[in-house]
Amino acid sequence: MTAVLPIETANAASGLRSERIGVLLVNLGTPDSADTKGVRVYLKEFLSDPRVIEDQGLLWKLALNGVILRVRPARKARDYRKIWNTEKNESPLKTITRSQSDKLSAAISDGNRVVVDWAMRYGNPSIQSRIDALMAQGCERLLVVPLYPQYSAATSASVCDEVFRVLAGMRAQPTLRVTPPYYQDPDYIDALAVSIDTHFATLPFEPELIVASFHGMPQKYVDNGDPYERQCIATTEELRKRMGLDASRLLLTFQSRFGYDEWLQPYTDKTMERLAKEGVRRIAVVTPGFSADCLETLEEIAQENAEIFRHNGGEQFAFIPCLNDSDAGMDVIRQLVLRELQGWI
C-alpha cells in the first residue's frame, strides 16, 4: 500500500491548522423511487446532459420526450425493483455511497476539521445541496472525489461541470481540488485482485475464466479524444499482471450500450453468448469500472448476463461484487483522498 501520513501526524509535522475542509464523494446517480415516475425524472436529467448525449439537437429532444421517456421508465423501474433496498426504500448505490462517506468520515475527520459528505450527479442528494451544506459548516476548501476509477467526459467531467456551475453562483467560493482517476493505482489494482481471490474461495466451482466488464460508451466519443477506453485497457492489463493471467483468462468487455450507434467492443452480452456456445461452462464477471454496486452490476450483470450465459449452454456464473464499502475498497478511497489533501492538512 502507498504510504500516506495520518492527518494527525501530518498536522503535527507541519504545525498547520487551517480552515475546515470539505470532502465530497460523488457517484453517478439513482432514481428517488423504483416506479415509473421516479425513473422518468431521473432519466430526463441524465439523458439531457450534453456530456452523456453529446448531440442534444431537435431530433434527440423529439426522441427523448416523444419515445424514450414514454417507454423506457416503466421497464427500467421493473429492473430497479429487482435490486431495490426495500428496507431503506432506496437503490443500493445510494446505500453504499452513504456508507462509504460515513466510513471515510470516521477515518479522516480530524476532530471534525475535515467534513465528509456525498452526492449524486443526477438525482438526490444533489451536488448543489451538499456543497451548500459543506459551505454552511465553514468549509473554505473543497475536495471533490468523482467515484469513477477511469475518467470519461460523460462521468468525471460531468461532475466537474456541475461543481463549477454551483461555484459560479457563489461570491465567496471555496478553494477547489478534484481527485484524479485511479485506474492504475496500485492500491486499487491490489484491492480488485484480493476481492476476486476472496470471492473465488467461497465458490463451489472454479471459473474457467474471468470477464472484466466496464460500462460502455459510443465509439465516436473515443474517436473524438475521450481517454476512457485506454484507461479501461490499462486497468485490465494491470489486473492481469497482478493475478498472473493472460488475455485468454481475463477478458475485457463493455456493457450497457444504448441506442443505435456503434459502442466500444467487445460487448459483454455478446461475449457471454459466444463463450457459452464455444463450450465455456464456468465463468466469473468482475466490474472494475464501478466503485459501488448498482443497477448495471446487480441487475444487468448478475441477472441479465447470467441468464444469457446459461441460456446458451453455460452452467455456473459468478458475479464478483464491487469493492463497495469493504475494508479494501475504503482503503482505496482513503488513500486517494489523503494524497490529494496533502498540503491542506
Query: 155-206, pLDDT tens digit by residue?
Result: 999 999 999 999 999 999 999 999 999 999 999 999 999 999 999 999 999 9
Buried b (16+ CB within 10 A) or exposed e, 256-272: bbeeeeebbeebbbebb
Q: How far apart are CA 73 and CA 89, in angstroms?
A: 18
Instruction: Give me the pLDDT at residue 137, please.
Output: 95
Instruction: Give me the pLDDT at residue 110, please.
Output: 78
Q: How far apart are CA 104 and CA 98, in angstroms?
A: 10
Q: Give the confidence band of 2 by pLDDT, cuts at 50, 70, 90.
A: very low
Q: What is the four-CA torsion angle of 128, 130, 135, 139, rounded to 10 degrees?
A: -130
Q: Answer whether CATH 3.40.50.300 is correct for domain 186-320.
A: no
For residue 209, the SS3 value is strand
Asked whether the predicted pLDDT for residue 3 surpasses 60, the reply is no
Half-sphere exposure of 266 (CA within 13 A, CB side): 14
Asked whether the predicted pLDDT for residue 5 surpasses 80, the reply is no
Instruction: Give me the pLDDT at residue 244, please.
Output: 98
Mean pLDDT of 88-107: 98
Instruction: Give me the pLDDT at residue 109, please.
Output: 83
Q: Give the confidence band of 53 by pLDDT, cuts at 50, 70, 90.
A: very high
DSSP state of 260: S
Mean pLDDT of 240-262: 96
Mean pLDDT of 70-78: 97
Q: Give the confidence band of 345 by pLDDT, cuts at 50, 70, 90.
A: confident
Q: Give the confidence band of 14 by pLDDT, cuts at 50, 70, 90.
A: very low
Instruction: Give me the pLDDT at residue 54, please.
Output: 96
Helices then strands, counting H and E runs in the chain, come out as: 13, 8
- Beta-carbon count within 10 A of 104 CB: 24
Q: Give the confidence band of 141 by pLDDT, cuts at 50, 70, 90.
A: very high
Instruction: Give me the pLDDT at residue 90, please.
Output: 98
Mean pLDDT of 262-285: 98
How does the average pLDDT of the chain come out, rounded?
95
Q: How far apart are CA 187 and CA 182, in angstroms?
A: 9
* 2 or 71, higher pLDDT: 71
Q: Give the confidence band of 112 by pLDDT, cuts at 50, 70, 90.
A: confident
| % of the chain with per-residue pLDDT over 70 | 95
Instruction: Give me the pLDDT at residue 338, please.
Output: 97
Instruction: Give me the pLDDT at residue 18, please.
Output: 56
Asked whether the predicted pLDDT for residue 17 surpasses 70, the reply is no
pTM more than 0.85? yes
Say which residue the cell 448531440 belongs to. Answer: 55
Residues of the chain with CATH 3.40.50.1400: 186-320
